[in-house]
Structure 1
Amino acid sequence: MTLTRTALVRLLTHPAGKIPAPRLIGAVLLGGALAAAGVSHLTVARQEFQAQVPPWFPMDKDFVVLASGVVEIGLGAALIALRKRRVPVGLAAAAFFVLIFPGNISQYVTRTDGFGLDTDRARLTRLFFQPVLVLWALWSTGAWKELRAALRQGNRPE
């Protein structure tokens, strides 16, 4: 299944309709959690987050932590405030969770402690929560539904 250019543009630019209450609550909770995590990147947990930056990543660990914190604050605020553009925000949040997943894998593979994850079992268990965050971002914003509709539309002859 592929997206046509038209379906992709509609997915990213079409204003979303009313969001059901459970999804709205989910988006606000995820937005709050992201914003709080982002603030902690910049303040109290800066060193802890550096444990998640893979040693092979070609940028300064502190810069990566600060930049990802700013992105998390922005995504969190957008999840809370941008209800009319929630689908692109949901896609962006899901993409962010996918992009940072190699850091979680690296933390497991290199056996780096951080955030109380001081055993292989704890680090491994954490890996299973990243897909949950991706799905949460897609579900709570309606992006999952809209993406499926766009994929169906993209497979129809024009």
Structure 2
Amino acid sequence: MTDGRARRIARGALALFYAVAGVAHLLATDAMVRITPAWVPFPHAVVIATGLCELAGAAGLMTRRWRVAAGWSLALYAVCVFPANIKHAIHDLGSGTGLGLGYHGPRLLLQPLIVWWALWASGAIDWPLARRLAPRVRVP
């Protein structure tokens, strides 16, 4: 598989992931508000705004003009929502209701991968999959 094809697949999958998440934020707003940390002002409005941001990021990934900006934005977004993911895990695991460790463990551990995925799929970075342009020269 070529690098270009791999990125197109990764970009399409990521766009679908964020489109579904954006719709979920708009349709299940009250559930999302419950996992919003208490220090976030206007949680209902923030959840609506995050859903719209996810939809905009998904759309941006699919355009040449906005692809890299969308990648950086979605990477930053993944960092910003991490506290809500932690609160959600603490709530579910502490109460014994909701989703278990099989969901929350991978979700929390994979957050850095989601950040990288947004940057790589958008073309914002090549790391660590960049092809070497010139052969390495060994110094004796």
TM-score normalised by L of structure 2: 0.75
What is the SS of the residue equivalent to 1:132?
helix
Structure-1 residue corresponding to 2:34: 51
The runs of 5 or more residues in structure 2 that have no matched partner are: 131-140
Moved more, 32-41 or 66-75: 32-41
Structure-1 residue corresponding to 2:104: 123
TM-score normalised by L of structure 1: 0.67
Distance across 2 between alignment mates of 1:68 and 1:34: 10
Structure-1 residue corresponding to 2:15: 31
Distance across 1 between alignment mates of 2:99 and 2:20: 23
Structure-2 residue corresponding to 1:140: 121
Q: CA RMSD in A?
A: 2.6
2:44 is aligned with 1:62: yes
The runs of 5 or more residues in structure 1 that have no matched partner are: 1-18, 150-158
Distance across 1 between alignment mates of 2:79 and 2:65: 24
What is the SS of the residue equivalent to 1:143?
coil
Structure-2 change in CA distance of 1:69 and 1:85 (3 Å):
closer
On the 8 A contact 2:92/2:98 being kept in 1, the answer is no
Structure-2 residue corresponding to 1:10: none
Higher RCO (CA 8 Å, separation ≥ 6 residues): 1
Structure-2 residue corresponding to 1:9: none
